[in-house]
Structures are given as C-alpha cells and as structure tokens.
Structure 1
Amino acid sequence: MPEIHQSIAQHYHERTKYDPDTLASKSQRLDWAKQPVPFKEYKIGSDYDLKPYLQQQPESFANNPDAKWWQRLSQLLFHSYGLTAKMPSMGSAVYLRSAPSAGGLYPAEVYLLSRGTPLLPAGLYNYQCRTHSLMQYWEDDVWQALQAACFWHPTLENTQLAIITTAVFYRSVWRYEDRAYRRIFLDTGHLLGNIELAGAITDYRPHLIGGFVDEAVNDLLYIDPEQEGATVVIALADVLDVKQNLPLGKTALPSTIHTSYPSIPDGELLRYFHFHTQIQSGISYQNLTTIKIENTLEDKYNFPFCDKLSTITTPIHWGGNLSELENTIYKRRSTRAYSGVNLTFDELKMLLDFTYQPQNYIDQNLDNSPDYFDLSLIETFIAVSGVKGLDSGCYYYAPKAQELRQIRFKNFRRELHFLCLGQELGRDAGAVIFHTADLKTALAQYGDRVYRYLHLDAGHLGQRLNLAAIRLNIGVSGIGGFFDDQVNDVLGIPADEAVLYISTLGRPR
C-alpha cells in the first residue's frame, strides 16, 4: 500500500522512475500490430482548407483582408503543429511535425474554438495536420461554456478564438506504459513553445490557461475521457484588434492533494493519476487577473566558493519579420548522433539567452514575457563535457543573475552515457541540460495538478532550446528516459530535485 503521507503525484513519480536494477525486467517487446495512428479522423463535418494560405506574401492577398486573416491562422497552426517531413519507416512512413514528440508518437491533438467571426462560424474545429485543414465537427455557440469551464478567465472575455490541446493517452502508453504521462506533457510543452513563437510571427498573443474544469472541457469537445483528456486551454488574442489586448490572467490554478488511494496496478496508474489531478466543478476562484511583477528574489542555489561565469551575450538574430524563426521551426529535427567535437562557451551562452531571457528579444517583436505556468519552480543544471572555454563539470544556471555556478569538477561522459539509458547522445554531447523541480514545494503551492504544469514548462523551455540550437547549427535532442535517482547522485544535485527533462547538445555527426 502507498505511504499515507505521499501524495498521488509523488507516488506516481516514484513508481515511474527508471532504475538500472529493474528496468530490464520491466521492458517488453512492442506489439506493432497495435501501434497507434497519430491522427484523428472525422466521418462528417465541414472542411476548411488552409493550404492555399501558406505562402509568405502572395500578391493576391495584398488588398484582401479576408485572405490575410486566413493566412495568419494558417501559418499559426502550421508553425505550431504542422507536418514538415515524411520519413520512411519499416515499410511505411512517419510524418514529422514542427514540434518534437517522444518516439514520434504525437499524443497531442489541437482543437480550435471559434466564438463566431465573419470568416469562421461559431463551433468546434479539429486541426487536421495531414491535410493542413480545419474540420468543423460541431457548429454551435460554445464560447460561454468554455468561459464557465475556465472560471470566467479574463483573457476569454474579448478574444474570438481559443486553442485546446488534448492528449490521446494510448498513443504514448503503447510504448512508454505508465511513464507516458511525463512524456505526454513534455510533448505538449514543446507544442506550447511553438504556439508562443508562431503567435509572434502571425500577430497573435497566446494566453495559457491551465486551471479549468476538466470534465466540462472534455464534454465541450465531445471526447471520451477514458481515451483522451484536455491538457491546456489557450485564449488566442488577435494583437491587431485593440479590444483583444487584454490584461494577463493566472495561468495555473491549484487542485487538491490526494494522499488516500488504493494500491494501483501497473497499467492503470496513468489514468488514475490523470483523473486525480483534475479540477472539479463547484470550486470558486477569485481574481484571476494577474499583473506580472519582476521577481527580485535571488536564484535558488547560490553555492559558496563556486566559480561564477556570466552568460550575458549578444541575442540570436531571427531575421527580418522573424523569417529565420519560421525557417528554423520548419527545418527543426532531433539530432540522432553527435561527433564529440566541442561546442563553444559563446554558443552555450546564446542558447541559454534565448531560452531563459525573452526580454532580450523585444526589439525583434517577440514576446518579452511569454506565459508559463510557474517558471519559479523549475531549476536548470548543466553537465559540461565538451565546451571550449568551460571546465568540465556540473553547473547550476542562475537565470536572474544570468550566470553559471560550477558545483562539481569532473568530466561526466561515461556517467551520462549510463544515465541516459546507454544512449550515445548522452556520452557524445558537449553539454547536457537537466530541468528539475522540488516536487514537495511545488505540491504545496498547486496540489497534484502541478505535475502537469512542471512538465509543460520543462517542455516549453526545451522547445525554445531546440529552436535556438537549430538556428546556430548545433545538434539537439531531448531525452525523457533516464535513471532518475542516479542523475542526482552523479551530478551532486539535491535529492529533493525531481528530474523532469534532459536536453542534449552537441555537434551533429
């Protein structure tokens, strides 16, 4: 039986840790006959083709505001989750998207809700990435129901469009079993990173809403909650409409903490955990409007007598009208192998700058304060094995001070190979970035639902890191499978820090 003092989030995290003594016994051969299809189909509905509007600046749009509106929406969805490549695989094909996904399983679905505009009737739409189209499968006014499900969140007052992301659980469970929940929210975090940046390209401002009545949103979308569940609601404000330039709202709301639960069999843990991180109806949340105030508190870890190295640098240039950002999103790929050749400290500085210092990009028309759920809960450690200008070792990245603080002096290539389940990416990378969080502290603030928020934010940071690396011609690949406890032991980071995500960086082979 679970220990009574352990919340369901802590229990889930402990139960889904990889351990070198037990991983081999848990592994099983995949049943390829049951491989999930990563696309959703609708038998009936009205199809809105978005492909004609993908061109950058077609002459026919110059004096056609309707076509320009469609072009912006088309590009937003394409840069967020569109198909960017077709790769042969085992006699079939794998379709790659603009956002990465563990194992190419793509558990996330993207829905668009319209309040009713002159061009897009009120109702529910699913983004069909294979055909780059919107399938309207429900034509009715759903906006008030959405507002009620989101506790009348202020960013939904004047916006006309909203995105809802969901997770189709089996797509990831097929391969990763109960641990899939972690990967589902990391993958969705990648998608949120793309939506944020695609919004800057297309003059939309995405407002994240993580606190909503799950059952109400699931019912609104007509999805089976046993198979698929809502993960994030996003109010999509049109920056070109002054009425939609609304105050920011709270992105994260707390759920309850569950410390009483039965013995849950393997294979049932993910769904049980998801249900018990939901927010129920009947709860009252007051004052959902928030004013972002610069956090003046110091970074969490300030180790005595450690070397401190500034990471202040020249920001990455994303081209006129963010043309290079568009190009980078399109050509982004996860690196499969590294050469072992060193990176430079200047390159690492630029990667960290784009990932953590958005205020440095306001002159390029990027959001200087994009929405996260609570970045104050995320910590960053970097294992350096091959960065010219940096000693090998483990560093803590202090984003407020914009500096690296060295906490261990050692080359970790051999250990990183082991920690990353024997993947050569860990061994050959020049630097490996670890996102962590003190789960106990996070639970005290947001309840068990915080497990979603932590992995969404880690994935969001990981996607910014992905795109910065591709822009600098650096290889990058995220790793969601690792020996959890051994990471803390090897790197010498506090035992309270739960490892959320690993990103590897190096020279592509």
Structure 2
Amino acid sequence: MMSIVKENERLANQAIYEHNNPSIAELFHENTKLNTYTLKQLQYSLAKAVSNPDFKQASLNDGKSYPTLERKKLTPRRSLNGNIGDAIWKRRSIRKFSPKNISFETMSDLLQYSSGISHILKKENDSVTGFRTYPSGGALYPLEIYLVINRVSNLSTGIYHYNVRSNYLEIISTGNLQEQIDKLHIRDQLIEESGITILVTATFKRTTYKYGNRGYRFVLMEVGHLFQNIALVAEALNLGTCDIGGYEDDELNTLLQVDGVNEAVVGEIAVGIPSPFGDNTMPGIYHE
C-alpha cells in the first residue's frame, strides 16, 4: 500500500509543479484527480469505511440534531402547482423582494420538497435509512440547513436549524440579526429584504472518511444539487431566490456556532416574495 501512496505523491507533485505559480483551485483539482494508483487507494478507503460498524451506524443516523433546543414542527407538505418544466423555464435570480411575510406553510413546503426525506428504506437487519430529495455521494448527506428568519408568519426572527430526519426546526437563537448579518456581506440589500436567508453547511468528514480527498468534490456537487432544488421549488411556490457568494466565512461560522473546519458554511441563498416594483432583470438580458 505504501508504494501506491508514494507513487500517488510523485504524480501529484509532478502535476503541481508543471506551473510556476499554480492557483489554489489548480492545486485542489490536481490533488483530487483519480488515476490508476489513486483509484486503488480509493478502493481501499471504501472497503475500510463499509467494514467499520461505527461508520455504518453513523450513516444510518444521517443529519445533525440539537435535542435540548426548543423546536417547531413543520406543517405537512402540500401539492405543488404547475410542473417541473414551468419551474425550470421561469426560474431566474431575484434581487428585489417584497416586505410581505412568507407563510409558515410555504416555508415548510420549500424545505420538505427541496431537502426533505422522500422515502425510507428498511434493510434486512431492521435498520432504517432515509433518502432525501437530492442525490448525495454514498447517501451520506453531509449538508446541514440553517435558516435566518426575517419575515415568516407565526415564526420569530432568529436562527433555526432544519432537522431533516424529524422534520422540524430547532431554535438556535432568537432576535433580529439583520444588521449584524448585513455587515458580513458584499450585497447587504439581499439579506435585509429577504424573508429567509438559508445558510448551508457541510460536515466534510461524513463524506471524506469514505471517499478521501475526492469526497470534497462530492460535497460541492451536492451543494449544487440542493441549491437547484431550492431554486426550482421556490419558483413553484411563487417565491424568488438569489444565491449569495460574497460573505465572510469565519464570521458566519461563528454566528451558527460551528467551528469552520469540521463543519463550515459552503453556500447561502436569499429567499423572499418577489417585489412587483423595481427591476428584477439582469442588465443586457432580454426577457419576454
């Protein structure tokens, strides 16, 4: 096994130093490539993971929970109007939101359709695992969803965690945090006007334990799957969304009380009711 590791390091170093000044993105891409040697390494890692009883148990109990916190049950999901074709065709980023409240029922639908458990699998040993509405490498689901509530009916402002397995919100903290969060972003208007700001974190080792460095790619792919779900479900619910990339990572991690290493923010989405006033189109793009 050591010879494979050394050969892998040799190939990686060769790729890294082909350029005099490689970027971090190039280093990441080169060091997570698979070849004859790293495929064998990955096979070894997979075999090690699936034979570990602790890993198996952790995989069945996917999802983070805060058992001591106050919680609020989501309402049962309702049927969505329209079809997937309409949602895909009409979806676009919304940068101007109405001051109206999002209903609690609509928020519940958004969470359940975009990221909830859609079906349960019971195995021969009576263990149970739940599959969500988006794909995940190895069905390990390393992503966690937090919500900064600004304007949702029958729900206090504050920070909440979506407990997917039990389908309820766990209250991390209450109070209006908009002014504090605004300072951590390039475009603070989106945060100020949105009804909900969704913050997605990743617990990386849930995936990298099994897939090694390659697993980091899987985590980022999963973020994309989840974000597209949120955008399309929001469109079907007559909500608007806008992905946000310009935020201060460490400060948001601190806000969510995560360490920024084992679990860290990997994406953010502003969600709200589109404003009938103001221009929600992108300059230079023709809209019928």
For the superposition of Structure 1 and Structure 2, which TM-score range results when normalised by the shorter chain? 0.7 to 0.9
Does the residue aligned with 2:170 lie in a helix, a strand or coil? strand
Mind listing any 5+ residue stretches in structure 1 that lack a counterpart? 58-67, 249-290, 296-358, 363-509
1:242 to partner: Cα distance: 4.4
Cα 1:87/1:26, change in 2 over 3 Å: closer
| 2:117 corresponds to 1:83 | yes
1:192 to partner: Cα distance: 0.8
Counterpart AA for 2:211:
Y
Counterpart AA for 1:178:
N
1:179 to partner: Cα distance: 1.1
| 2:36 corresponds to 1:20 | yes
| 2:21 corresponds to 1:30 | no
Does the residue aligned with 1:74 lie in a helix, a strand or coil? helix
Of residues 184, 195, 207, the one that matches 1:172 is 207
Does the residue aligned with 2:209 lie in a helix, a strand or coil? helix
Cα 1:162/1:25, change in 2 over 3 Å: closer
Of residues 222, 225, 229, the one that matches 1:187 is 222
Query: How large is the Cα RMSD of the aligned pairs?
Result: 2.7
- Residue-by-residue CA offset, 1:403-442 (whole Å, 9 max, x unaligned): xxxxxxxxxxxxxxxxxxxxxxxxxxxxxxxxxxxxxxxx
User: Which residue number corresponds to residue 25 of structure 2?
Assistant: 9
1:8 to partner: Cα distance: 2.0
TM-score (norm 1): 0.45
Of residues 267, 271, 274, the one that matches 1:236 is 271
Of residues 92, 107, 113, the one that matches 2:142 is 107
Counterpart AA for 1:38:
D
1:26 to partner: Cα distance: 4.7
Between the two proteins, what is the percent identity of the paired residues? Answer: 25
1:150 to partner: Cα distance: 1.3
Where do 1:386-397 residues align within 5 Å?
A: none
Higher relative contact order (CA 8 A, sep 6+): 2
**Aligned partners of 1:49 and 1:246: how far apart in 2?**
36
Where do 1:173-252 residues align within 5 Å?
A: 173-239=208-274, 242=276, 247=280
Q: Confirm or deny: 8 A CA contact 2:115 2:132 kept in the other structure.
A: yes
Does the residue aligned with 1:157 lie in a helix, a strand or coil? helix
Of residues 100, 105, 111, the one that matches 1:71 is 105
1:221 to partner: Cα distance: 0.8
**Aligned partners of 1:104 and 1:9: how far apart in 2?**
26
**Aligned partners of 2:29 and 2:243: how far apart in 1?**
25
- Residue-by-residue CA offset, 1:362-405 (whole Å, 9 max, x unaligned): 9xxxxxxxxxxxxxxxxxxxxxxxxxxxxxxxxxxxxxxxxxxx
**Aligned partners of 1:166 and 1:210: how far apart in 2?**
13
Cα 1:13/1:134, change in 2 over 3 Å: same
1:74 to partner: Cα distance: 1.0
Where do 1:233-382 residues align within 5 Å?
A: 233-239=268-274, 242=276, 247=280, 291-294=282-285
User: Which residue number corresponds to residue 96 of structure 1?
Assistant: 131
User: Which residue number corresponds to residue 128 of structure 1?
Assistant: 163
**Aligned partners of 2:218 and 2:283: how far apart in 1?**
29
**Aligned partners of 1:15 and 1:34: how far apart in 2?**
28
Counterpart AA for 1:54:
R
User: Which residue number corresponds to residue 87 of structure 2?
Assistant: none
Cα 1:167/1:48, change in 2 over 3 Å: same
Does the residue aligned with 2:193 lie in a helix, a strand or coil? coil
**Aligned partners of 2:236 and 2:54: how far apart in 1?**
39
Mind listing any 5+ residue stretches in structure 2 that lack a counterpart? 1-12, 81-101
Does the residue aligned with 1:164 lie in a helix, a strand or coil? strand
1:55 to partner: Cα distance: 3.3
**Aligned partners of 1:104 and 1:26: how far apart in 2?**
17
Counterpart AA for 2:117:
L
1:25 to partner: Cα distance: 4.2
Cα 1:90/1:199, change in 2 over 3 Å: same
**Aligned partners of 1:161 and 1:7: how far apart in 2?**
35
Counterpart AA for 2:258:
I
**Aligned partners of 1:217 and 1:55: how far apart in 2?**
32
1:116 to partner: Cα distance: 5.3
Counterpart AA for 1:5:
N
Cα 1:137/1:124, change in 2 over 3 Å: same
Counterpart AA for 1:45:
L
1:44 to partner: Cα distance: 2.4
**Aligned partners of 1:293 and 1:89: how far apart in 2?**
54
Q: Confirm or deny: 8 A CA contact 1:94 1:104 kept in the other structure.
A: no
Cα 1:152/1:211, change in 2 over 3 Å: closer
| 2:59 corresponds to 1:39 | no
Q: Confirm or deny: 8 A CA contact 1:123 1:138 kept in the other structure.
A: yes
User: Which residue number corresponds to residue 55 of structure 1?
Assistant: 78
1:132 to partner: Cα distance: 1.6
Q: Choose 1 or 2 for highest CA Rg.
A: 1
- Residue-by-residue CA offset, 1:167-200 (whole Å, 9 max, x unaligned): 1111111211111111101011000111011101
Q: Confirm or deny: 8 A CA contact 1:163 1:234 kept in the other structure.
A: yes
TM-score (norm 2): 0.76
Q: Confirm or deny: 8 A CA contact 1:154 1:247 kept in the other structure.
A: no
**Aligned partners of 1:75 and 1:46: how far apart in 2?**
21
1:131 to partner: Cα distance: 1.9
**Aligned partners of 1:246 and 1:234: how far apart in 2?**
19
Cα 1:117/1:81, change in 2 over 3 Å: closer
**Aligned partners of 1:144 and 1:226: how far apart in 2?**
26
Cα 1:246/1:155, change in 2 over 3 Å: farther
User: Which residue number corresponds to residue 176 of structure 2?
Assistant: 141
- Residue-by-residue CA offset, 1:43-94 (whole Å, 9 max, x unaligned): 322211113x42349xxxxxxxxxx922211111111101100113463222
Counterpart AA for 1:47:
R
Does the residue aligned with 2:146 lie in a helix, a strand or coil? strand
- Residue-by-residue CA offset, 1:181-235 (whole Å, 9 max, x unaligned): 1110101100011101110121211110012110011111111212111011111
